[in-house]
Amino acid sequence: QQQVKQSPQSLIVQKGGISIINCAYENTAFDYFPWYQQFPGKGPALLIAIRPDVSEKKEGRFTISFNKSAKQFSLHIMDSQPGDSATYFCAAISGPYGGSQGNLIFGKGTKLSVKP
Amino acid sequence: DTGVSQDPRHKITKRGQNVTFRCDPISEHNRLYWYRQTLGQGPEFLTYFQNEAQLEKSRLLSDRFSAERPKGSFSTLEIQRTEQGDSAMYLCASSLLAGGPGNEQFFGPGTRLTVL
């Protein structure tokens, strides 16, 4: 049973364009939603994260949009660059914050290719 | 470098052999997690420690898998009688507490296991 569903599986965007990756979840116990970026042969690296009491969070060119009622969240990469080419994973952690075991539950990933 | 380190980075073994991987977390982190990542998938949680205590191990894939963190610092993951299906990237992550705002999980580069 996949608890976090991610789409699309792959994405090709032109340099300067907007990359959008979507995730959906069912478990309302999730209370923290990080996004990770992974380059080939490397471990995942935290990119940006959001709590469900916030509808949007922006850090530089990266924005998370969160829709609690729809149980969906998305990553937007503005002005996409070839260096952004990587696999992106959405994830979720069950609450309560600080009291749970805190293991991340990952989506299956989106392979992003930004063409120059 | 004060990040999470893992050793070895690559391991090739023959079916039926035992293998052991090591993870050194960020020094002040008391939570340590092991994940497995197969090709084209997101990382899958295996087990975690808080200090030296292994608080969840039901998600280890079989009784051939075991993990230790004897002094609450580094951890080892052992796979006995390896099978070809064990071929994957084994990732270690650490965090201050349960994970969440301010307690994000930081991943190591992983150990790539190939079972021939």
Mean pLDDT in chain B?
Answer: 91
The reported pLDDT for the residue numbered A95 is 58
B45 contact residues in A (CB cutoff 8 A): 103-105
* Per-residue pLDDT tens digits for B11-46: 999 999 999 999 999 998 989 999 999 998 999 999
Whether B74 contacts B24, CB under 8 Å: yes
Question: Which of B33, B41, B106 faces A103 most closely, judged by CB atoms?
Answer: B33
B102 pLDDT band (50/70/90 cuts)?
low
Q: Cβ contact (<8 Å) for B108 and A43?
A: yes
Q: Cβ contact (<8 Å) for A46 and B44?
A: no
Whether A8 contacts A109, CB under 8 Å: no
CA-CA distance, A63 to A82, in Å (whole number)?
A: 18
* Per-residue pLDDT tens digits for A30-62: 888 999 999 998 999 999 999 888 999 999 999
Tracing tokens 């969840």 back to the chain, one arrives at B56
Q: Cβ contact (<8 Å) for A97 and B105?
A: no
CA-CA distance, A19 to A7, in Å (whole number)?
A: 12
Tracing tokens 């907007």 back to the chain, one arrives at A18
Q: Cβ contact (<8 Å) for B100 and A104?
A: no
The reported pLDDT for the residue numbered B100 is 64
Instruction: With a cut of 80, say whether residue B2 has pLDDT above it.
Output: no
Top pLDDT among A48 and B71 is at A48
Rg (CA), chain B: 13
